[in-house]
Amino acid sequence: TPEKVSGALAFLKDKGLWLCVVAIFLGGATECTMAQWASGYLEKAVGIPKVLGDVFGVALFGVALGLGRTLYSKKGKNVERVLLLGCIGAAVCYLTAAVCDIAVVGLLACAFTGFCASMLWPGSLIVSANRFPQGGVFIYAMMAAGGDFGASVGPQLVGVITDGVMGNAAAAGFAQSLGLTVEQLGMKCGMLVGAIFPILGIIVFSIVCKIKKKADTQGAGI
């Protein structure tokens, strides 16, 4: 109906909606990049056999992801702050994976990313629902599109970078000078690129926190 169309257009003009879409895009990219690349990273970058990488890396990531969401459902509050802290933790985990050569540390970085990223996707939905209580299906459709896009772009970008480094003759020489194989260098570069998403998330969720704090202050009549 014309009323629904005009309502959707009004939402599309709201910068707050696009901020929420960017937030869930970054959250989806942060979560799914590590979920899809943890096994390959553990095998090629730190030398953990694939079976062990799948069992301990991917499985622990999933357990940590579920644990984070369960804890929030039981004890969580102030979701904006949780999302900001989650991005900070995820960025640290990605950077640790990119620079560390110790297998156990790399494994823990992959697993703990699951805990840090656990609320980035669902938490962004909570923020959008609070911000647009009358948005209904349209808001959730926009958020779903943003999250799915991030979940696709993040792993794909890391794959492009990793393959590009592995197929580069100059990179092979550089890797040798660092005492690494070209596969190790490729995966570490991929993880470094993956860190871009939570780092950008820190900026976005800092803005979200400021908006929420301003709204709370105005609501309290201060």
Please list the pLDDT of the chain residue by residue as tens digits (222 residues).
445 545 566 667 778 889 999 999 999 999 999 999 998 898 888 888 888 877 778 889 999 999 999 999 998 788 999 999 999 999 999 999 999 888 889 999 999 999 999 999 999 999 998 888 877 788 889 999 999 999 999 999 999 999 999 999 899 899 998 889 999 999 999 999 999 999 999 999 999 999 888 877 776 433
pTM of the model: 0.90
**Sign of the alpha-carbon torsion through 82, 87, 90, 91:** negative
Question: What is the rounded distance in angstroms from the CA atom of residue 148 to the CA atom of residue 142?
Answer: 10
Q: Which of 10, 11, 31 is nearest to 147 (CA)?
A: 31
Question: What is the rounded distance in angstroms from the CA atom of residue 22 to the CA atom of residue 42?
Answer: 29
Question: H/E/C letters for each residue in 185-200?
Answer: HHHHHHHHHHCHHHHH
Q: What are phi and psi of 14, to 5 degrees?
A: -85, 120
